[in-house]
């Protein structure tokens, strides 16, 4: 059993990566490029591991792809807004303070049921932002379907969902980089 764990794990990851709808990848690229052309920025949000993904992507969008991107993982911002408005509303409030209509919000929640991320998606749509969501677990989760582009992975394993989201997003960055040089 133990000697087959990694082989099975990596096959699971490979299959998960291939579950992506390629047309959604192209639509996300289109929204991000449109944001960049309008002098907007990409705003990335997540909790825990998804916050780490958001942070990594903000750097890669900015430095590697030349697209302004920001994440809101600074403990001072999170705890200030969470204290004043409630944890479930901190993303909503961050968007109200920092977002502009030409921006795109990318909201990541493995479960798709994190109230702060779901409320952020609702606020972003209300403000007229383009919205990209990434979720997993329950196909009827609260986040799935709340964006202009919605990525969902049929898995209940946090690491599989998080790493798949991460690679899908990095693939978007790499595609943008490659197509800029053509």
**pLDDT tens-digit series, residues 159-177:** 999 999 999 999 999 999 9
pLDDT confidence of 2, banded at 50, 70, 90?
confident
**pLDDT tens-digit series, residues 50-102:** 999 999 999 999 999 999 999 998 899 999 999 999 999 999 999 999 999 99
- Mean pLDDT for all residues in the chain: 96
pLDDT at 160: 97
Query: pTM for the complete prediction?
Result: 0.96
Determine the 3-state secondary structure of 143 from DSSP: coil
Q: Where are the domains of the chain?
A: 2-180
pLDDT at 1: 63
- Domain 2-180 sits in CATH at 3.40.50.10490
Between CA 125 and CA 138 the distance in angstroms is: 22
Between CA 18 and CA 1 the distance in angstroms is: 26
């Amino acid at each position: 059993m133990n000697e087959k764990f990694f082989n099975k794990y990596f096959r699971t990851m490979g299959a998960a990566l291939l579950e992506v709808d390629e047309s959604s990848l192209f639509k996300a690229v289109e929204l991000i490029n449109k944001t960049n052309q309008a002098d907007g920025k990409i705003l990335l949000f997540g909790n825990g591991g998804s916050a780490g993904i958001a942070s990594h992507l903000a750097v890669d969008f900015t430095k590697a792809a030349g697209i302004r991107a920001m994440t809101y993982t600074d403990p001072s911002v999170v705890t200030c807004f969470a204290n004043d408005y409630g944890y479930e509303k901190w993303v909503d409030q961050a968007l109200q303070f920092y977002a502009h209509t030409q921006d795109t919000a990318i909201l990541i929640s493995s479960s798709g049921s994190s109230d702060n991320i779901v409320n952020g998606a609702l606020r972003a749509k209300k403000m007229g932002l383009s919205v990209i969501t990434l979720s997993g677990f329950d196909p009827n989760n609260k986040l799935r379907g709340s964006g202009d582009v919605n990525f969902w992975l049929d898995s209940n394993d946090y690491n599989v969902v998080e790493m798949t989201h991460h690679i899908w997003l990095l693939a978007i960055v790499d595609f943008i980089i490659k197509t800029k040089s053509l």
